[in-house]
Amino acid sequence: MQASLRRTLWISRVTFLEAVRQRFFAFLLVLSAAMVLSSVSFRVFDFGHGELKFIADFGFGGMFFFGSVLAVVMTAQLFFSEIDNRTALTLLAKPVSRAEFLLGKFFGAWAVLGVFVAVLASLQGTVLWAREQELVAQAEQAGRIPTTFSFGGLVQLALLQWLRLGVVISIVLAISALARTFLFAVVVGSLAVVAGQLQWIAQDALLRPTDSPVYAAFLWVSTRIIPNLQQFNLADALVLGASAVEDGAVFAVFLSGLAYLAAYLTVGALIFRRREI
């Protein structure tokens, strides 16, 4: 067990170092950081929402968008670089199982996304804090109640975003284990992210009565197989306190994310076991 863990961690470390050296990672990190820092300037495009809400939505929306691009493209690239360069054969010829190889790739890529989320969340918190101080001063002069944000809620939301990107990585790895080309994995992985973002539509449709058992069965399966990525969007409730968070809601989202993550990794490992390299 310890030997297996050491091998997995070694692959994770190599994967992490390989990923952070990529120019693609640096480019998306800089681009996302610039987007977060410029969110205050873009508040002129806000239509009727509070400034802190707009800044939070703008920043976390950019975090998930660029994070998803990074998770899909980087994960597929890290996987297929080992396959195409035949280095996977060398690794798997040693006492390294295919499950350890896949888990190592996952944890390495997830660690990179952890750095990505931590940097952007820190910048997001700095921007929110700075703008909050200005709004508090203006509210005190005008005799209004100032709008504030929760640092603890920001930390929780950042962890949720990291978990959501981990689910995306596990989906892409499962697809890559089945796919034969890098392009196919990226395209299907991107479609899976879009489907996850729109999965709430299927959930709403499932609640409506229907006379077609086939349609109802399709909706039921789609709401179980495809994770609802929208459930991680709790910025208003956690960061701004705009709405109350139900008891256990955050914990339930964490459990759901971990369950999908484990399920897709298990499916990916089973598929990869039968794949010819």
Range of the domain at 134: 2-273
pLDDT reported for residue 275: 81
What's CA 17's distance to the chain center, in Å? Answer: 20
Q: Which residue has the higher pLDDT, 88 or 107?
A: 107
Longest dimension (CA), the chain: 72
pLDDT reported for residue 211: 66
Structure tokens at 251: 């914990």
Rounded to 10 degrees, the C-alpha dihedral 106/110/111/112 comes to 110
Please report which confidence band the pLDDT of residue 175 belongs to, taking 50, 70 and 90 as the band edges. Answer: very high
pLDDT reported for residue 49: 52
Please report which confidence band the pLDDT of residue 45 belongs to, taking 50, 70 and 90 as the band edges. Answer: low
pLDDT reported for residue 48: 46
Structure tokens at 231: 């459930």
The total number of structural domains that make up the chain: 1
Q: Which residue has the higher pLDDT, 170 or 42?
A: 170
- What's the length of the chain? 277
Question: For the chain, what percent of residues have pLDDT higher than 90?
Answer: 39
Structure tokens at 276: 């010819």
Q: Are 79 and 173 in contact (CB under 8 A)?
A: yes
Please report which confidence band the pLDDT of residue 47 belongs to, taking 50, 70 and 90 as the band edges. Answer: very low
pTM of the complete model: 0.88
Cα–Cα distance, 247 to 157 (Å, whole number): 16
Does residue 98 carry a pLDDT above 60?
yes
Does residue 34 carry a pLDDT above 80?
yes
Q: Are 229 and 190 in contact (CB under 8 A)?
A: no
Cα–Cα distance, 133 to 154 (Å, whole number): 17
Cα–Cα distance, 6 to 21 (Å, whole number): 23
Give which of 133, 128, 182, 131 is closest to 155, Cα–Cα: 128
Does residue 14 carry a pLDDT above 50?
yes
What radius of gyration do the chain's Cα atoms show? Answer: 21
Residue type, 19: A
Q: Which residue has the higher pLDDT, 216 or 166?
A: 166
